[in-house]
Structure formats: structure tokens, C-alpha cells
Amino acid sequence: MGKTSVIGVAGRFGARYGSSLRKKWKEVAERRYSEYVCPLCGTKTMFKKLSVGLWKCPKCGRVFAGGAYQPYTEVGKVIVVSEVKTAEPRGRSSS
């Protein structure tokens, strides 16, 4: 097998499947198997994918929704940030 420093984890496919598909697969694999911060317990860890869109934190054991190939989507990041900024106690209003 030749050098795989440029293509990285997709080097296991060798010369098969075309360079464009190997590069796309590499991007997806690197995002999926990297560490993320858990939105529930706050620890940095690698999540386990249960099914399409469902991820589990191995530290706290909680299951949350995310993207198909990564725990967070671009829309999900915006929603989490907006919830943090506008977090107010629910229930009684101060009127």
C-alpha cells in the first residue's frame, strides 16, 4: 500500500471508488469520530451513534437528537445558543 498521508483515513480504500468520493467520505468520518462537548453534562467526549439522528453520551448516559453524521447540526448550534441567551425561568410571569 502506498502513502496515505494526504487522504488520511480514506487511504484504506486504495485506488477504488474515485478521489471525490474518498475525500467526501474522509470529511464525514473525521466529523463523526471527533470529540464534542456534551450539551447535557458538559464533558468533552466521543458520542455513540444509536440510529440516524440519535446520539448517546457515554459519560452521563443521556440520549439526545442531532444530525445524521454528526451530533450537532448548524441549525442546532444556533438553537442552543439562542436558548442560552434567552433562558428565563418558566412558569409564572413577572407581570
pTM of the complete model: 0.59
Write down the pLDDT at residue 73.
78
54, three cell numbers: 440519535
The answer for residues whose C-beta is within 8 angstroms of residue 56's C-beta and 6 or more apart is: 47, 48, 49, 50, 62, 63
Architecture of the domain defined by 36-86: Single Sheet (2.20)
Write down the pLDDT at residue 93.
55
For residue 75, pLDDT beyond 70: yes
Every domain of the chain and the residues it spans: 36-86
19 or 78, greater pLDDT: 19
Contact 25, 10 (CB under 8 A): yes
User: Cell 444556533, residue?
Assistant: 78
User: In whole angstroms, what is the distance from residue 78 CA to residue 84 CA?
Assistant: 10
Q: For the residues 42-46, what does the mean pLDDT come to?
A: 85
